[in-house]
A and B are shown apart, each in its own frame.
Chain A
Amino acid sequence: MPDTHDTSSSDSAYNYAYLDEQTKRMIRRAILKAVAVPGYQVPFGGREMPLPYGWGTGGIQVTAAIIGRDDTLKVIDQGADDTTNAVSIRRFFAKVADVATTTRTEEATVIQTRHRVPETPLKEGQILVFQVPIPEPLRMLEPRETETRTLHALTEYGGMQVSLYESIARHGRISKAYNYPVLVNGRYMMSPSPIPKFDNPKLDNNAALQLYGAGREKRIYAVPPYTPVKSLDFDDHPFEIETWSECCALCGSKESFLDEMIVDDDGKRLFVCSDTDYCQERQQADKP
């Protein structure tokens, strides 16, 4: 066996934050372009990461390119800090980037998320990194990248309007529940990633920087702070979000996004906050 590969120790063979400096520079340049052209998908030379595609490799690459020893990282999946993939990604960065981690939204400088925007309002200086499976909002209407690129270049978004309108004609309302398309700064149509439409209003004019990373599709896009983000709708069918008649069984919140759980064989339901940090903060505040 050649001894050129140090296969015994897994960490020392890798650079700070896993990516080599050349790769970080390439991603950093893509991020700057993404911020300069809000909502536009910048192609980048995405790398294989040690986690599978579809499991947050785009978000991980973005986080790895921005994170430093001064940061405090929070990772959520479905709003929760303790879901297995969130745990796995948090462990990865604690290991390769020697970074402090937290579950508290307000303490975090970088928050990597899959499918949710935290309920606690974000502050200026925080960066929210989204994991994106399919960055192209028009992909399910037009599978070809060459076509969708042209549609974005021409601001030709009629197809999406038609698709939403068909939904109204058929169901009397827009039936799209998550990954609900938005228009960024009046120019680019953007996929907000598969967040529930409940979270769409939080993207609008947010004080934090939003970075979106799609690893398998090799695209990065961004919404700078204080940027208008409008969910598509019609004058006679304005955008609306999900509501529940129940409240959270743990903290009593009526305002947060609720997860539904089946608690017995008869199908009895229980509703709790999807954002575990928000829920715990509220429970703690209630204690005397």
Chain B
Amino acid sequence: MYVAVKGGETAIANSLDLVADKRRGARDLAELTLDQIDQQLGLAVDRVMTEGSCYDRSLAALAIKQARGDLIEAIFLLRAYRTTLPRFGDSEPLDTTRMVAERRISSTFKDVPGGQVLGPTYDYTHRLLDFSLAAAGERPEAPTAPVDAAQALPRVGDILEREGMLEPPPAANGEASQDITRTPLVMPADRPVRLQNLARGDEGFLLALGYSTQRGYGNNHPFVGEIRYGQVPVAFVPEELGFEIELAEIDVTECDMVNQFAGAHNIPPQFTRGYGLAFGHAERKAMAMALVDRALRAEELSENITSPAQDEEFVLSHSDSVEASGFVQHLKLPHYVDFQSELVVVRTLRHEVEERNRQAVLDQAAE
């Protein structure tokens, strides 16, 4: 007789062995080192750090290795590690005008103070598979111009702002903003909470939403005020010292999106901001984030909320890849109790309908 499947314990143990084996792949090939992942798959590391909310290249590289390159799985691994770490406090806000920029472009002005720096970008590569990469071989070092690390890099937005053409950024209120990894998301959310959510949000989801605003679903006429990528210092004020110390330098990508705004009530027409920030080099993410940030300001700016990207509850509740991936994939778990419940109900309903139909036929025959 058939008996319900037993031995889940053994099955799981075997499955763990199998996935570890798959991860390693053919044993005659050298195993990837974390340094190799960090150096040669650096953009994957950047994405995992950004959406994993944890700036640690070696941990992100480990997560990517363990997840066999599945970045959403790697983000999950890093998040689950991060969540157990003790908190010492909040760093001081990053000052991106102090960035040592490797790349910095504006699409609103031909030239800007500090200059346009193209830097490393795929933008102007021709997307032709480079078969020379399939073979081993050393590549020459790229020539680089000397970088003036002491030079302050004013934001293009600040220049527009002085003219009154661009809204000023929200004033700092001196309060530490709510940490969405420690406190539950409550709607309606304020902008710092939304930006945290978007920074952790899935790049694909934000990209699609940002794209939708360009196709008329909540259009906000965006221009890239500026994108910059480079190193910024992170500072922290320990309670016992009472003064700022520099902890590290991290790579970030920042996008200041400038958007047309018709004005409202007593605000004259001016440009408004959408903001994006990501760890490492992640322009697509930072731009998509800036578009969605601006779209989510619809209510604040008295715009009609007509499209998904403007809908705070919709966006913030569905942006997280770890949540989304878990809940979609939980459908793989057994649901036979619920299904059995439905079967019983559907059978009863069908039986009643058949019974009624049969009776109707009999009644008709009797007439």
* Chain A interfacial positions (CB closer than 8 Å to B): 1-2, 5, 7, 13-15, 18-20, 22-23, 26, 43-50, 52-55, 57, 77-80, 82-88, 91, 114-116, 133, 143-146, 171-173, 175-179, 194-198, 216, 218-219, 242-244, 249-250, 257-261, 263, 270, 272, 274, 276
| CB neighbors of A among B312-343 (8 A) | 313, 317, 322-323, 325-330, 333-338, 340-343
| CB neighbors of A among B336-355 (8 A) | 336-338, 340-345, 348-349, 352
Is B59's CB under 8 angstroms from A5's CB? yes
Distance of B29 from chain A, by nearest CB (Å): 21
In addition to A46-B184, A87-B12, 13 A-B residue pairs with Cβ atoms within 8 Å of each other are: A1-B58, A48-B79, A82-B4, A88-B12, A115-B337, A144-B187, A171-B352, A177-B338, A177-B345, A178-B337, A257-B340, A274-B340, A276-B4
Is B329's CB under 8 angstroms from A52's CB? yes
Check if B1 is an interface residue, CB within 8 A of chain A: yes
Is A55's CB under 8 angstroms from B333's CB? yes
Residue in B2, B185, B330, B336 whose CB lies within 8 Å of A54: B330
Is A242's CB under 8 angstroms from B344's CB? yes
Q: Taking CB as reference atom, which chain B residue is nearest A87? A: B8
Q: List 10 A-B pairs, minimum CB-CB distance, nearest first.
A: A53-B326, A54-B330, A52-B326, A177-B341, A43-B184, A54-B327, A196-B341, A87-B8, A48-B79, A54-B326
Q: Given A2-B58, A177-B345, are A216 and B323 also a contact pair (CB < 8 Å)?
A: yes
Distance of A239 from chain B, by nearest CB (Å): 13
Check if B300 is an interface residue, CB within 8 A of chain A: no
Q: What are 14 A-B interface contacts by the 8 Å CB criterion?
A: A1-B35, A44-B184, A45-B183, A48-B79, A50-B80, A54-B330, A55-B326, A77-B333, A114-B333, A177-B341, A195-B337, A216-B323, A218-B184, A259-B336
Residue in A44, A52, A87, A196 whose CB lies within 8 Å of B325: A52
**Chain A residues near B71 (CB, 8 Å)?**
none
Alpha-carbon gap, A57 to B186, bound state (A):
19
Is A274's CB under 8 angstroms from B334's CB? no
**Chain B residues near A53 (CB, 8 Å)?**
322-323, 325-327, 330
Alpha-carbon gap, A168 to B8, bound state (A):
41
Distance of A25 from chain B, by nearest CB (Å): 12
Alpha-carbon gap, A219 to B184, bound state (A):
8
Distance of B241 from chain A, by nearest CB (Å): 21
Alpha-carbon gap, A154 to B342, bound state (A):
32
Distance of B41 from chain A, by nearest CB (Å): 16
Q: Taking CB as reference atom, which chain A residue is nearest B179? A: A45
Alpha-carbon gap, A133 to B9, bound state (A):
24
Check if B76 is an interface residue, CB within 8 A of chain A: yes
**Chain A residues near B345 (CB, 8 Å)?**
175-177, 242
What does the 1/0 interface line of B240-259 toward A look like (CB < 8 Å)? 00000000000000000000
Is B337's CB under 8 angstroms from A257's CB? yes
Is A196's CB under 8 angstroms from B12's CB? no
Q: Taking CB as reference atom, which chain B residue is nearest A174? A: B345
**Chain A residues near B342 (CB, 8 Å)?**
177-178
Distance of B11 from chain A, by nearest CB (Å): 6
**Chain A residues near B186 (CB, 8 Å)?**
43
**Chain B residues near A260 (CB, 8 Å)?**
336, 340, 343
**Chain A residues near B177 (CB, 8 Å)?**
none
* Chain B interfacial positions (CB closer than 8 Å to A): 1-9, 11-12, 34-35, 56, 58-59, 62, 76, 79-80, 82-84, 86-87, 181-188, 313, 317, 322-323, 325-330, 333-338, 340-345, 348-349, 352
Q: Given A5-B58, A43-B184, are A259 and B340 also a contact pair (CB < 8 Å)?
A: yes
Q: Taking CB as reference atom, which chain A residue is nearest B314? A: A143
Is A258's CB under 8 angstroms from B340's CB? yes
Q: Given A48-B80, A55-B333, A244-B344, are A84 and B326 also a contact pair (CB < 8 Å)?
A: no
Q: Taking CB as reference atom, which chain B residue is nearest A86? A: B8
Alpha-carbon gap, A258 to B82, bound state (A):
42
**Chain B residues near A26 (CB, 8 Å)?**
182
Q: Given A115-B338, A257-B337, A261-B2, are A146 and B343 also a contact pair (CB < 8 Å)?
A: no
Alpha-carbon gap, A212 to B345, bound state (A):
26
**Chain A residues near B317 (CB, 8 Å)?**
145
Residue in A54, A78, A171 whose CB lies within 8 Å of B329: A54
Is A82's CB under 8 angstroms from B338's CB? no
Is B185's CB under 8 angstroms from A85's CB? no
Residue in B82, B322, B325, B338 whose CB lies within 8 Å of A194: B338
Alpha-carbon gap, A86 to B334, bound state (A):
11
Alpha-carbon gap, A243 to B345, bound state (A):
10
**Chain A residues near B330 (CB, 8 Å)?**
52-55, 133
Is A218's CB under 8 angstroms from B334's CB? no
Distance of A43 from chain B, by nearest CB (Å): 4
Alpha-carbon gap, A143 to B318, bound state (A):
12
Distance of A140 from chain B, by nearest CB (Å): 14
Is B335's CB under 8 angstroms from A272's CB? no
Q: Taking CB as reference atom, which chain B residue is nearest A244? A: B344
**Chain B residues near A79 (CB, 8 Å)?**
337
**Chain B residues near A116 (CB, 8 Å)?**
337
Residue in B1, B35, B188 whose CB lies within 8 Å of A146: B188
Q: Taking CB as reference atom, which chain B residue is nearest A80? A: B4
